């Protein structure tokens, strides 16, 4: 179970890092049925993509070293 958890967290960090590296900013708009034209911009800092990529890569590598349990014993 821990192995799959760390694999998922590492993959999520890597994907988020690649997305932050490619995109300049993300604009979150409110519900289209609302009349307000408010939007929230998210601009990742310069260090975020590389930190997420590096952390995700380390966690992915760690997930492959976590021992896999054999059997159903507790």
pLDDT digits (tens, 9 = 90+) for 40-74: 888 989 999 999 999 999 999 999 988 877 555 54
- Residue 71's pLDDT is what? 55
Which residues does 43 contact at the CB level (< 8 Å), separation at least 6? 24, 25
- Residue 2's pLDDT is what? 85
Give me the half-sphere count of Cα atoms (radius 13 Å) on the Cβ side of residue 67.
3
- Residue 13's pLDDT is what? 96
- Residue 72's pLDDT is what? 54
Report the C-alpha gap between 34 and 62 in whole angstroms: 46
Q: Where are the domains of the chain?
A: 2-65
């Amino acid at each position: 179970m821990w192995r799959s958890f760390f694999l998922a967290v590492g993959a999520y960090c890597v994907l988020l890092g690649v997305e932050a590296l490619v995109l300049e900013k993300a604009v979150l708009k409110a519900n289209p049925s609302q009349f307000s034209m408010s939007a929230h911009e998210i601009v990742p800092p310069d260090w975020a993509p590389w930190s997420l990529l590096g952390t995700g890569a380390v966690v992915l590598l760690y997930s492959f070293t976590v021992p896999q349990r054999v059997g159903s014993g507790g």
